[in-house]
Chains A and B, each alone.
Chain A
């Protein structure tokens, strides 16, 4: 890990500035060798210097360079950040020059990996940083930032401490069976504590799964019979004309994707080909995909025509979505109602008229209500935000639930303790306090390039 790594740390694309980050023993020397301006090696730590990047007599860009000395940097190594003018060409050129003079291109997540390996951040923090980078909106950012400041680690520490106390009180009975100083621990009297920890942990898991919605968004499928207005609903939600809208049935032959922010959460919307028996080959593939999407989506918007009775196809759709989170969008509300409303759950339906924009706001409100998005926004944002964390928390929870279940049987308390201990270790694994070798490999393979 002695080599010096470099990467573009900002999203590539059109922005006012881009940042190229360099980290490692020779970071300052390398950048200084292509920098025209003051001598960077003589600059104090955490200062910014104006100058130009020049390579083989060619001026590449006018830049501001931040010099940060080890150890008070993100990676705890010497770090230089070059603020250059945005634009793919210029930024890439600077990176290219750095690589040519001896830097190595950072692997995905390598800056964070170094920060972790150098002891600057713990595992939860490392994951949180990845989440900040990938955060798509403000709420996700807030969840990620909370994790970053160790708030989450603190919460897990507290839970672990309580489990540890329980463990200790069981242990003391075993090692000092005749001493009355400690209360005799039995299946009955550990139960309240176990239940309480289960409660808090399942709360955290539940919130976190919602929290995952904040970071990953809600996968939403729009389905319905041909020409009931699916594409129009999409366009109105996206507030743009993305899907082709015509009066001819079967215009949308493949899925159309769009992202929209509702209540601070990103909705990934997929408009699907209308579901009907079809001979058209291209459309047929689309229909199969639509049915498959029902399986995959978190939210399904079923679009129905207010002006027609439910068809066999409609009823088939209603059957397909029965166990999912569904909102029934009854479109064409400007026309007389001919649809059988009794077949559609009242609390999940919304009337829209896409010609006049009517009902779109109500649909958004319905989505917010369905996912408690208002509550989420006001919440304390103490979420586990990666799948790994959530699955470890669930394993810990599982262990404790097993204890809860066995408490009523005649299994001796010191055996129950095996599961309690395992839960304690799982929580430790979440914050990197128990060593398990797959952990780190798994974690860092997920990281994106740069920070």
Chain B
């Protein structure tokens, strides 16, 4: 029995990976430690948010599953940053932790070409640096042409609370104890990372009267481009906001050395971006209070997730800490917070396609690559799945550029800069974020999804129609003018904008910051879908800024298009700084653009490299 692809791990990366390969017709085996934990959400009950939400849209545009599955399991939906520009708007969903995995499982079960097996993988079969399959805990061998590792936090996972350490994955699941040792033997550099999760509280033990309400939006929306809303606005569940008190901080300070982190029981490096409550109290000692959000986990059970209260204190201290919070004086802790340590590989050992440089036909995605977050994992899983299939078809990999997708930024950062802490996507990591918007993810990526084969013909035709409509709408705005008649100027006055002395195109009118497309339509009604109208408004209003961003992106593309030949020997490039030479050898960038982003490679090294390439007549 031989599979085309084996995916190891059924988390968010694994689900996207196996759905991509099977949808592209590749016979795939998904191996998971426990089927019940497929598409599990072991940490926060939400998907999306700034940057992350845009990744989910990109996954949808490319033909992945996360957006659709989120739409099916909403508890609450919110558009963030609405007061800011279109580039940073992002959707965030509170998601039902029971329904999300259930819906994903349904999709997997009905997927052709897919087999799911419960097992723990402890080794790979490797022949002359080419992967041939996996070896299970019981010694059983399964053959495949490609292996995709999406092991999440399960490599040598250790759960920590205070000084207690327990070899376990989330939910007390069995970790893989030897796979990372084997990977090390094959030549991977293994690093130890850490993340953590807050306590869960019984809902009916909380007095919510002291908390402020954080409801969902009053507008129906969907994550996916291809779905209509199936939830009811009034059925959304609220979140709540409370604050820590001085008493809470005192308890933390008094018990600091008992925490796994401060007691020195943790080896792994945690993310700066979501610090534990201990970290917050220590590092921002002057702050009198910290925000905490109380978030529902499901309609079907009682747990409330205390966002912002992640800790690695022992259980008895957690009790004290929780009871010091307003409204939680009598709270019952259902699940104690913990820190979890796990092994990850050094992503500098990956190609842009997410195939490893160490072993051919081996791909990795998600936390094993040093990232954190469901969305980051899913994005990589999808790309790994696509590129595994393309490799089987002997085609060029799909590599998204930094000005095309957050997923492109994510993977380029990983394979170019590496990471020393769990990598979280932030809008500030994207240089051209005005181009990488929530609203235009389909315009950016749908074409790729179609060409790869993950977007069906009917969906694609709908997309082409939308594109055509946008073009027509812009034309319509540019070709129609208003003239300085009395009526027109009076209408303009009513809109708090300056009257006309000359004719003005609707397009230019729309450019005025104070004017909306709705107001423009008072002069000239237009019959387009909401989606198309949104594009018209953004295109006209932010044209100047978008053009600037495009110009900057072009400069980058130019450097990106200067290739560095595969077999370059950096020892032959004289005068490179020592650090630069070492980094270049490690990363082996494929273009001058990528080389210039490596930390430790300075502009002078880049010019030396260019001089060398010119001398060798390689550019």
Contact of B604 among A116, A177, A410, A413 (CB under 8 A): A116
Closest to A170 in B: B428
B88 and A117 contact, CB distance less than 8 A: no
Contact of B428 among A119, A175, A180, A413 (CB under 8 A): A175
Closest to A436 in B: B555
Closest to B596 in A: A435
**Given A2-B574, A117-B604: A418 touches B427 (CB 8 Å cut-off):** no
For residue B81, which residues in chain A have a CB less than 8 angstroms away from its CB?
Answer: 174, 177, 414
Closest to B595 in A: A435
Contact of A118 among B85, B284, B427, B575 (CB under 8 A): B575
**Given A175-B427, A177-B81, A413-B84: A437 touches B50 (CB 8 Å cut-off):** no
Closest to A168 in B: B428
Report Cα–Cα, A433/B606, bound state, in Å: 12
B575 and A117 contact, CB distance less than 8 A: yes
Quote the shortest CB–CB distance from A117 to chain B (angstroms): 5
For residue A177, which residues in chain B have a CB less than 8 angstroms away from its CB?
Answer: 50, 80-81
Closest to A176 in B: B50
Contact of B434 among A174, A415, A433, A434 (CB under 8 A): A415
A residues 113-169 in Cβ contact with B at 8 Å: 116-119, 123, 167
Report Cα–Cα, A193/B532, bound state, in Å: 38
Is A209 part of the contact surface with B, judged by Cβ < 8 Å? Answer: no
| A-B interface contact total, Cβ < 8 Å | 89
B50 and A175 contact, CB distance less than 8 A: yes
A175 and B426 contact, CB distance less than 8 A: yes
Is B287 part of the contact surface with A, judged by Cβ < 8 Å? Answer: yes
Report Cα–Cα, A173/B83, bound state, in Å: 11
Quote the shortest CB–CB distance from B576 to chain A (angstroms): 10
Report Cα–Cα, A419/B611, bound state, in Å: 32
Quote the shortest CB–CB distance from B577 to chain A (angstroms): 5
Is A432 part of the contact surface with B, judged by Cβ < 8 Å? Answer: yes
A414 and B88 contact, CB distance less than 8 A: yes
Is A1 part of the contact surface with B, judged by Cβ < 8 Å? Answer: yes
For residue A440, which residues in chain B have a CB less than 8 angstroms away from its CB?
Answer: 603, 607
A residues 167-211 in Cβ contact with B at 8 Å: 167, 171, 173-181
A409 and B513 contact, CB distance less than 8 A: yes
Quote the shortest CB–CB distance from A392 to chain B (angstroms): 14
Is A341 part of the contact surface with B, judged by Cβ < 8 Å? Answer: no
Report Cα–Cα, A309/B549, bound state, in Å: 62
Closest to B549 in A: A418
For residue B290, which residues in chain A have a CB less than 8 angstroms away from its CB?
Answer: 181
Cβ proximity bits B585-605 to A, threshold 8 Å, 1 near / 0 not: 000000000001000001110
A119 and B604 contact, CB distance less than 8 A: yes
For residue B426, which residues in chain A have a CB less than 8 angstroms away from its CB?
Answer: 171, 175
For residue B508, which residues in chain A have a CB less than 8 angstroms away from its CB?
Answer: none
For residue A419, which residues in chain B have a CB less than 8 angstroms away from its CB?
Answer: 548
Is A411 part of the contact surface with B, judged by Cβ < 8 Å? Answer: yes
A175 and B575 contact, CB distance less than 8 A: no
Cβ proximity bits A228-259 to B, threshold 8 Å, 1 near / 0 not: 00000000000000000000000000000000
For residue B514, which residues in chain A have a CB less than 8 angstroms away from its CB?
Answer: 410
For residue A435, which residues in chain B have a CB less than 8 angstroms away from its CB?
Answer: 559, 596, 603, 606
A180 and B427 contact, CB distance less than 8 A: no
Interface size bucket, A side?
35 or more
Is B565 part of the contact surface with A, judged by Cβ < 8 Å? Answer: no
A410 and B513 contact, CB distance less than 8 A: yes
Is A412 part of the contact surface with B, judged by Cβ < 8 Å? Answer: yes
Report Cα–Cα, A150/B513, bound state, in Å: 44
Is B608 part of the contact surface with A, judged by Cβ < 8 Å? Answer: yes
Report Cα–Cα, A361/B80, bound state, in Å: 71
A178 and B291 contact, CB distance less than 8 A: yes
Report Cα–Cα, A414/B287, bound state, in Å: 27
Is B339 part of the contact surface with A, judged by Cβ < 8 Å? Answer: no
Closest to A418 in B: B545
B51 and A175 contact, CB distance less than 8 A: yes
Report Cα–Cα, A75/B519, bound state, in Å: 65
For residue A173, which residues in chain B have a CB less than 8 angstroms away from its CB?
Answer: 84
Contact of A418 among B84, B548, B577, B604 (CB under 8 A): B548
Quote the shortest CB–CB distance from A142 to chain B (angstroms): 27
Quote the shortest CB–CB distance from A180 to chain B (angstroms): 6
B84 and A412 contact, CB distance less than 8 A: yes
A171 and B87 contact, CB distance less than 8 A: no
Closest to B575 in A: A1
For residue A180, which residues in chain B have a CB less than 8 angstroms away from its CB?
Answer: 291
For residue B575, which residues in chain A have a CB less than 8 angstroms away from its CB?
Answer: 1, 117-118
Quote the shortest CB–CB distance from A347 to chain B (angstroms): 43
Is B450 part of the contact surface with A, judged by Cβ < 8 Å? Answer: no
For residue B80, which residues in chain A have a CB less than 8 angstroms away from its CB?
Answer: 177-178
Report Cα–Cα, A330/B555, bound state, in Å: 56
Contact of B85 among A176, A412, A436 (CB under 8 A): A412
Report Cα–Cα, A411/B545, bound state, in Å: 10
For residue A439, which residues in chain B have a CB less than 8 angstroms away from its CB?
Answer: 603
For residue B87, which residues in chain A have a CB less than 8 angstroms away from its CB?
Answer: 414-415
Is B570 part of the contact surface with A, judged by Cβ < 8 Å? Answer: no
B574 and A174 contact, CB distance less than 8 A: no
For residue B577, which residues in chain A have a CB less than 8 angstroms away from its CB?
Answer: 119
A179 and B291 contact, CB distance less than 8 A: yes
Closest to B545 in A: A415
Quote the shortest CB–CB distance from A442 to chain B (angstroms): 12
Report Cα–Cα, A117/B293, bound state, in Å: 53
Quote the shortest CB–CB distance from B437 to chain A (angstroms): 11
For residue A171, which residues in chain B have a CB less than 8 angstroms away from its CB?
Answer: 426-428
For residue A411, which residues in chain B have a CB less than 8 angstroms away from its CB?
Answer: 85, 513
B residues 65-90 in Cβ contact with A at 8 Å: 80-81, 83-85, 87-88
Quote the shortest CB–CB distance from A218 to chain B (angstroms): 35
For residue B596, which residues in chain A have a CB less than 8 angstroms away from its CB?
Answer: 435
Cβ proximity bits B266-297 to A, threshold 8 Å, 1 near / 0 not: 00000000000000000010010011010000
For residue A181, which residues in chain B have a CB less than 8 angstroms away from its CB?
Answer: 284, 287, 290-291
Is B233 part of the contact surface with A, judged by Cβ < 8 Å? Answer: no
For residue B463, which residues in chain A have a CB less than 8 angstroms away from its CB?
Answer: none
Report Cα–Cα, A409/B541, bound state, in Å: 13
Cβ proximity bits A1-25 to B, threshold 8 Å, 1 near / 0 not: 1100000000000000000000000
Quote the shortest CB–CB distance from B416 to chain A (angstroms): 14
Quote the shortest CB–CB distance from A444 to chain B (angstroms): 10
Report Cα–Cα, A176/B552, bound state, in Å: 26
Closest to A428 in B: B603
Is B610 part of the contact surface with A, judged by Cβ < 8 Å? Answer: yes
Is B3 part of the contact surface with A, judged by Cβ < 8 Å? Answer: no
Report Cα–Cα, A117/B604, bound state, in Å: 5
Is B542 part of the contact surface with A, judged by Cβ < 8 Å? Answer: yes
For residue B83, which residues in chain A have a CB less than 8 angstroms away from its CB?
Answer: 412
Give the top 4 A-B pairs by smallest Cβ distance, nearest first. A412-B85, A171-B428, A410-B513, A435-B603
- Extra contacts, 5 of them, besides A123-B603, A410-B513, A435-B606 (Cβ < 8 A), are A171-B426, A171-B428, A174-B427, A419-B548, A435-B603
Instruction: Name 18 interchain pairs, CB-CB below 8 A, sorted by A.
Output: A1-B611, A116-B604, A119-B604, A167-B428, A171-B428, A174-B81, A175-B50, A175-B428, A178-B80, A180-B291, A409-B513, A412-B84, A412-B85, A414-B81, A418-B549, A432-B603, A437-B607, A440-B607
Interfacial residues, chain B to chain A (CB-CB below 8 A): 50-51, 80-81, 83-85, 87-88, 284, 287, 290-291, 293, 426-428, 434, 513-514, 542, 545, 548-549, 552, 555, 559, 574-575, 577, 596, 602-604, 606-608, 610-611
